Structure formats: C-alpha cells, structure tokens
A and B are shown apart, each in its own frame.
Chain A
Amino acid sequence: MASGALRGRRPARILLHIVMIAACATWLLPTLGLLVSSFRPRSEIAQSGWWTALSAPFSLTLQNYGNVLSRANMGRSFLNSLLIAIPSTVLPICIASFAAYAFAWMRFKGRETLFIVLIGLLVVPIQMTVIPVLRIFNALGLTGTFPGIWLAHAAYGLPFSIYLLRNFMQELPASMLESAFIDGASHPQVFLHLVLRTSLPAIASLAIYQFMWVWNDLFVALIYLGGTQDVAPMTLTMANMVNSYGGGWEYLTAAAFISMAFPLVVFFTMQKYYIRGILAGSVKE
C-alpha cells in the first residue's frame, strides 16, 4: 500500500511526517519525563521542568532509587510482585491445559454447552465476584495471604486460558494423535509428550499475557490483600504512595519506573508473543 499512497505530493508528505512525529512525541514524552525526573534531586523536581535537566548544568542522582527501595517499601514490593505473579501465571495454565485437552480431544455429552458457558464467563466483571469470594477468604483465613491471591488470579485466568489452549490444541493434526493411540499410548502420555510439547508457542503467549496482567493488576490485589503492607505488590504500594505522599515526585517517579522496568524488558524481548497474547486476550473481561 505504501508505494502508491500519496506519491509525489510534497506538502502532503511533509504533513504526514509532522503528524507521525507529533504522535511519537505524545507517546514518548510522558514516559521520558518520568524517567528523567526520577534521576533529579528532590529540590529541582519541584522547581523546574524535567526538560531543563537535559541541558547543562547536569545534576543527576541515584538517591531517589536508593530512598524508594529502602524507605518506601518498594524493594519488598518488587519481590512481592514476583511472588504473586509467577504462581498466578503457572497455576492457571497448568490447570487449564488438562481441561483444554479434554475439550479438544475427548468426546463427551455437554461438551459444547460447557464451552459456551466458559465463553460467557470470559467477560464477567471481577466486581461481580469479589464480595462472596472475600467472605470465603475471610472464613478460611486466606485474606492478605499469597495462596489466597494465587487462587483468585488462577481462577479468574482460567476461562481465558482454557479458551486459548483449547483453540490451539484443536488445530493439531488428528492423524498425529491417532497414530500415538494406535501405538498404545494413553491419554496422559499423549497429553504430556505430544500435545503439551507442540502447544508451547500458545503456552508462551498465554504465560506472558497472564504474567503482565497480574503484574499490572491493582484491583484484585487491593481487594484480597487490602491493608496488608508486607504482601503488597508494587501497584498497591504505589497507589498508597500517591495518596499519602501527594506531590512527593522524587519517590513516585522512581517507584513508577521500577514497576515499569520489568514489563518493558518483557515487551522488548518478547514483543511477538506479547502482541499475540494481547490480540487473543482482547476477548477477555
């Protein structure tokens, strides 16, 4: 399409570049401003715009990062985010893969109906579930604990995980599975050695999608971990910082950047899988 479009019309081409550069600036400047500010001393953040730090005299510092990691509990929260996100990714995929295999390769009564119910559940708002689940958690002592939030994230991630994996597994060639069964393989063997292994690309997309979702989640953590500071993930700690510090930008900018660093690395190294996951995940919630 590019070759024929706007061919030979200079004013139009110049306008095109101006719009594109404006778009780049709009999407880059906010994040760049945050990054630059996070390296500026407290006194300067409050007195001059972040862009003044880009010209001499340069005065940049790592102090904000040191402070926020040691005093504002962000170091602990970073660890908590990992402790929450890793099992919350592994568990639903693990549990869902068995169900997805059953939906894709076993015949049973009610299979279609059950799968349609699952598709309906994809878009149920989490808000609709939190009050009863919280009551169960309180009764079992799971509120404010890691196993509690792992279970919650695993369950909320299940319908989508089953949906995505089943769609992928269903596309595997039937002849491949049939020949394994003829050779005497059982369902568990076929599942583990054949289906799971060939489904790795789908599992990778799903894992990255679910990990990012949990890493960036505020609502589920707020509800089930609420006031418990020592299990709070970064999103929760930052939200509390915004409320209590008000304009303490030297803390907030450094904290926000610490929380973004990990997803950004994932994004740039695994862009292909991540975008594929996002595209598939657009049906969720």
Chain B
Amino acid sequence: METLGAFAAALIGVPLALYAYIRLSEPMARLRPGKASLLRPWIWLFPSLALVAVFLVYPVIDTLAASLRSADGGSYVGLSNYGRVFTEPDNLGALKNNLLWLAFFTLGTLLFGLLIAVLSDRVRYEAAVKALVFIPMAISFVAAGIIWKFMFEFRPAGEAQVGTVNAIADILGGQPRAWLADKSVNNLALIAVGVWMWTGFAMVILSAALKAVSVDILEAARMDGASEAQIFFRITLPCIAGTVVFVATTLMINVLKVFDIVYVMTNGNLGTDVIANRMYKEMFNFHDSGEASAIASVLLVCIIPVMIVNIRRYRRQGHVNG
C-alpha cells in the first residue's frame, strides 16, 4: 500500500509539482523587470542541477578523495591504494583480463558487426538477419549470462552432452570442455558472450554508414575491373573509417566497466575477475572503501580520453555521435 502511494506520487505528484514550481516562479521571475531572463533559466535548470550535483559531481570528487584514504576512510595514505591496485595479484589478474576483454571483445564485435553488415546487404532476407542479431541488445546481461551458462554446460566425455557448445564439439569429433572452468578458455568464453550481445549494436551503426557510401563510385570501380575485395578495402572501408572509430570507442568504454556477465557466469572465480567486479568485492566483501575508490578512479582515468574526444566532437559538429 505504501509502495503504491509512493508509486503514484512519483508518477503523478512529481510531474505536477515540477510544473507548478515553474508556473509559480514565473511571476517571481518577472517581479524585477529586465531581470526575468537572467533568473528564469536557473529556475528551470535547478531540479536537474541539484540531482546531478548530489548523485554525480559530489560523489566523483568524494570518491577521488577517498581513494587517498585508508580502508575506513580515516587517515590519509597518499597513493598507497593505487600502489595496491597495480601490485596485488588479484588486481593484476583483473587488469590483465580487462586488457583481454578490451582487445578481443572490441575486435570481435567490430569484425562480426562489419561482416554481417556487409554480407546481409547482399541478400534478400537482410531484415530478418539483422533483427535476429540485434535481439540480444534488448535483453539483460543476466539473462544472456544464463542463456550462455546453459550453452556451455559440461558433462564428462562419454555422457550425453546437454550443453549446445559441447554437443557440437562432440559431433565434430572434439573433446567436451568445461568452458567456464578451464582456465585456458574461460575468459574467451565470457568474452564470446559479450560479443554475441553487442554485435547487433556495431552492425546497426556500421550498416547505416555502409548504405551511405555512394553507389556511383562503387559501380565506377566495378566497371574499371576492381575486385570486390579491392573495392571493400580501398573504397568502402576508408569511407566508413570515422564510424568504425566511433563504434570502437563506444565498445571500449563499455568493456572497461564490464561487470554483469562476469558476476553472473563465474563471479570472477577461476581467473576470470575484472576490475569492476574487484571494486564491488573490495567495497562489499572487504569493506575497503579506500581501495574500492582507487579502483573506480582508475576506471575514470581510463575513460577521460573518451570524454575529451566527445567534448571536442561536440564543439566541432554540435553533437557527440560519430
């Protein structure tokens, strides 16, 4: 009952209150002639600025400060938390895995996205292929984690395999593997789930760019006897290079913070930990706000170049998208 009251208040009360606030402040803004246009924007911006200040700006500054303090936030410890981020075996393993994710996830997603965008353009059932590949973007990482945990299900050799991946390996004459436990493949198995989820995203954006490449130029190249491969690498690819870079940076920002897939499928065990998961463990399992803050700050520092690129792009073209 209490929940329903809060629910109604949030859905009806807040919008009404906001509009009333704007309406009622209007006569006040006009009280002093000439000052209205100075005061009004800030009245309209205030609710947003207040929330952003409390939930984003202040916490970022506070976390940066906490990263220089001890586990309980008591004493100043300089950069020693950062020292631990880059020396403790657990963190080093996680950093190494993040690099694996960065390389294989980004490359894999881009390659599959580009391949499907290029090839589906040449078949009549293009819309169906693209819808299928895009579907995982609509479901949660948790659901995808469950789907693929089931795909990777392992039974010892000789027993009937119930996991699709091992059943296919069986048909092809290979040995079944415990994909999520075997340390030589488990990180790649997790990365494959990420690629499966994000390929649709890369495909949709790259496909739009491909369709914008001038048909006349492509036809002219074909008339001159250029092969399809030459056309792709010498004409199409340079034309869509900007979009490829944009998709790659977006994938990289997202992969730095990869958390859900790992949390659900292995919880970082057996050598699969990543930094976002390490941060969660330091905070909630070990109650070390200093080291947790330092790990989060490292994430932020990694993302700052992207922030700068976005701001530059905005200044140049008025929006951030590639």
| 64-109 of chain A: CB within 8 A of chain B | 83, 86-87, 90-91, 94-96, 98-99, 101-103, 106-108
| Interface residue B178 (Cβ < 8 Å from any Cβ of A) | no
Bound: A131/B66 CA distance, A: 9
Nearest chain-A residue to B36 (Cβ)? A187
| Interface residue A143 (Cβ < 8 Å from any Cβ of B) | no
| Interface residue A125 (Cβ < 8 Å from any Cβ of B) | yes
| Interface residue B222 (Cβ < 8 Å from any Cβ of A) | yes
Nearest chain-A residue to B165 (Cβ)? A30
| 27-79 of chain B: CB within 8 A of chain A | 37-38, 40-42, 44-45, 47-49, 51-52, 54-60, 62-63, 66
Given contacts A48-B160, A108-B42, A127-B296, contact A155 B311 (CB under 8 A): no
A33 CB, nearest partner CB in chain B, Å:
6
Asked whether A1 lies within 8 Å of B218 as measured between CB atoms, the reply is yes
Residue from A103, A125, A212 in contact with B138 in the complex, judged by beta carbons closer than 8 Å: A212
| Interface residue B90 (Cβ < 8 Å from any Cβ of A) | no
Bound: A260/B144 CA distance, A: 9
Q: Which residues of A contact B47 (CB under 8 A)?
A: 95, 98-99
Interface string of A152-193 (1 = CB under 8 A from B): 101110110011000100000000000000000011100110
Q: Which residues of A contact B14 (CB under 8 A)?
A: 90-91, 94
Interface string of A115-126 (1 = CB under 8 A from B): 010111111111
A77 CB, nearest partner CB in chain B, Å:
11
Bound: A108/B49 CA distance, A: 15
Residue from B23, B142, B253, B319 in contact with A167 in the complex, judged by beta carbons closer than 8 Å: B319
Interface string of B257-282 (1 = CB under 8 A from A): 10110011101000000001001100
Stretch at the interface among B100-108, B119-127, B181-189: B119-127
Bound: A16/B273 CA distance, A: 38
Q: Which residues of A contact B66 (CB under 8 A)?
A: 131-132
Bound: A124/B257 CA distance, A: 11
Q: How many residues of B contact A (CB 8 A)?
A: 124
Q: How many residues of A contact B (CB 8 A)?
A: 116
Bound: A50/B164 CA distance, A: 8
Interface string of B113-140 (1 = CB under 8 A from A): 0011001111101001101111111111
Residue from A102, A129, A242 in contact with B55 in the complex, judged by beta carbons closer than 8 Å: A129
Asked whether B41 lies within 8 Å of A31 as measured between CB atoms, the reply is no
A98 CB, nearest partner CB in chain B, Å:
5
Asked whether A119 lies within 8 Å of B162 as measured between CB atoms, the reply is no
**Chain B at the A interface: SS class:** helix
Bound: A162/B139 CA distance, A: 25
Asked whether B150 lies within 8 Å of A282 as measured between CB atoms, the reply is no
| Interface residue B289 (Cβ < 8 Å from any Cβ of A) | yes
Report which B residues bind A (CB closer than 8 A). 3, 6-7, 10-11, 14-15, 18-19, 22-23, 26, 37-38, 40-42, 44-45, 47-49, 51-52, 54-60, 62-63, 66, 112, 115-116, 119-123, 125, 128-129, 131-143, 145-151, 153, 160-164, 167, 196, 199-201, 204-205, 208, 210-211, 213, 215, 218-219, 222, 228, 246-247, 250, 253-254, 256-257, 259-260, 263-265, 267, 276, 279-280, 283-284, 289, 292-293, 295-297, 299-300, 303, 306-307, 310-311, 314-315, 318-321
Report which A residues bind B (CB closer than 8 A). 1-2, 4-6, 16-17, 19-20, 23-24, 26-31, 33-34, 37, 45-51, 83, 86-87, 90-91, 94-96, 98-99, 101-103, 106-108, 111, 114, 116, 118-133, 136, 146-147, 150-152, 154-156, 158-159, 162-163, 167, 186-188, 191-192, 212, 215-219, 222, 226, 234-235, 238-239, 242-243, 247, 249, 252-253, 255-256, 259-260, 263-264, 266-267, 271, 274-275, 278-280, 282-283, 285
Which 6 pairs from chain A and chain B are nearest by CB?
A155-B55, A216-B140, A129-B59, A99-B48, A87-B10, A132-B59
